[in-house]
């Protein structure tokens, strides 16, 4: 077998700092199993993107992300350029160590370290779609980012902002459900103009709209049951004009796969989505909160190879 260059990108602050404490053990196991590899450690937002891009441009064959969904999002953005990877055959590995780790619920990526290292060694991989998001950042500039799991706008963006500025010491589920409960009490529904391909064009009064590549977000919420990472389509979930009592009563459906049984929750599919609002509507992208509407979202089919079981 031709020797491969492997670069690890490690976010020691993920999982409320637990990744940094675990890294020496992970490093020792990885060195024993994989031999030599490069290590790059992040110190703040944007570092993983910069480090992944540098690795891809230097000819690395495998970029392994050690962190959460937000760190993986940065790594994905680092290797992408004009809807394709900078290095055509580059693979992305993921050792999930984050607060939510929702992406791995939709794909066969193990949380077991030894199995993950074995998959990296044997180059087991699958090809997945990405989403391409064009949005307005906090300087009111137009920005473009790729996402691997899910984008939502409305309550999801408010929840992300709350989670990311409070402690995550109690783990993903508690952090997100607490932020969601508080968010429901404080949030006001938004009027959003939503267009999906050429078959849906309406202004909707909504709590939240999810544009899903994967099925889960928010620390285990099954917001898009049936979404497929490699079918060339987004699945949309529009949570419509419910009152607060109805929202609380139907919260269990966010976890048990019955979300579409409610008459005010709509399922759509499409490849190109636009959304705008006269109100300020925050965006959730792979667990991060990068900006606000308006947005344009496009599917990028079969965009990257990711190491899995």
Tokens of 247: 């929202």
This prediction's pTM: 0.90
Predicted confidence at residue 189, as pLDDT, reads 87
Provide the pLDDT confidence category of residue 253 given band limits of 50, 70 and 90.
Answer: confident
Q: What angle do CA 45, 61, 2 make, to 5 degrees?
A: 155
Q: Are 260 and 128 contacting, i.e. CB atoms less than 8 angstroms apart?
A: no
**In whole angstroms, how far apart are CA 12 and each of 124, 171, 290?**
26, 16, 21
pLDDT per position as a tens digit, 260-283: 998 999 999 999 999 999 999 989
pLDDT per position as a tens digit, 118-131: 999 998 899 999 99
Instruction: Tell which residue, 280, 264, 260, has the closest CA to residue 204.
Output: 264
> In this structure, which CATH number among 2.30.29.30, 3.40.640.10, 2.60.200.40, 3.40.50.880 belongs to the domain 131-302?
2.60.200.40
pLDDT per position as a tens digit, 89-128: 999 999 999 776 889 999 999 999 999 999 999 988 999 9
Q: HSE-up of 22 (CA within 13 Å, CB side)? A: 19
Provide the pLDDT confidence category of residue 185 given band limits of 50, 70 and 90.
Answer: low
Provide the pLDDT confidence category of residue 4 given band limits of 50, 70 and 90.
Answer: confident
Predicted confidence at residue 168, as pLDDT, reads 52
Q: Which part of the chain has CATH 2.60.200.40?
A: 131-302
DSSP structure string for 175-228: HHHHHHHHHHHH---EEEEEEETTTEEEEEEESEEEEESSSEETTTEE-STT--
Tokens of 214: 């994967």
What is the percent of the chain with per-residue pLDDT over 90, rounded to a whole number? 72
Q: Report the alpha-carbon distance of residue 265 to residue 164 in Å, rounded.
A: 27
Q: Which part of the chain has CATH 3.40.50.10330?
A: 6-129
Largest Cα–Cα separation, the chain: 60
Tokens of 260: 């579409």
Superfamily of domain 6-129: Probable inorganic polyphosphate/atp-NAD kinase; domain 1 (3.40.50.10330)
Predicted confidence at residue 170, as pLDDT, reads 46
């Amino acid at each position: 077998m031709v020797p491969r260059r492997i670069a690890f990108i490690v976010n020691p602050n993920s999982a409320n700092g637990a990744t940094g404490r675990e890294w020496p053990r992970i490093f020792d196991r990885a060195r024993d199993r994989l031999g030599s590899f490069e290590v790059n450690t992040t110190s703040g937002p944007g570092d993983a993107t910069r480090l992944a891009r540098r690795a891809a441009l230097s000819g690395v064959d495998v970029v392994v992300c050690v962190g959460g969904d937000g760190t993986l999002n940065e790594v994905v953005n680092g290797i992408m350029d004009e809807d394709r990877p900078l290095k055509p055959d580059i693979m992305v590995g993921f050792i999930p160590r984050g607060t939510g780790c929702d992406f791995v619920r939709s794909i066969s990526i193990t949380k077991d370290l030894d199995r993950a290292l074995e998959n990296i060694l044997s180059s087991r991989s699958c090809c997945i779609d990405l989403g391409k998001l064009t949005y307005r950042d906090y300087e009111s500039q137009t920005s473009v980012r790729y996402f691997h799991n899910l984008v939502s706008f409305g309550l999801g963006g408010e929840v992300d902002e709350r989670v990311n500025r409070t402690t995550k010491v109690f783990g993903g589920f508690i952090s997100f459900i607490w932020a969601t409960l508080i968010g429901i009490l404080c949030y006001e529904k938004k009027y959003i103009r939503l267009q999906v391909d050429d078959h849906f064009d309406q202004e909707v009064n909504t709590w939240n709209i999810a544009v899903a590549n994967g099925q889960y977000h928010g620390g285990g919420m099954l917001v898009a049951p049936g979404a497929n990472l490699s079918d060339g389509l987004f699945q949309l979930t529009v949570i419509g004009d419910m009152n607060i009592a109805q929202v609380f009563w139907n919260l269990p459906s966010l976890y048990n796969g019955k979300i579409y049984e409610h008459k005010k929750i709509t399922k759509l599919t499409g490849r190109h989505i636009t959304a705008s609002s006269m109100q300020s509507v925050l965006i959730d992208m792979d667990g991060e909160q990068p900006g606000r509407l308006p947005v344009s979202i496009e599917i990028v089919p079969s965009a990257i190879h990711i190491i899995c079981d």
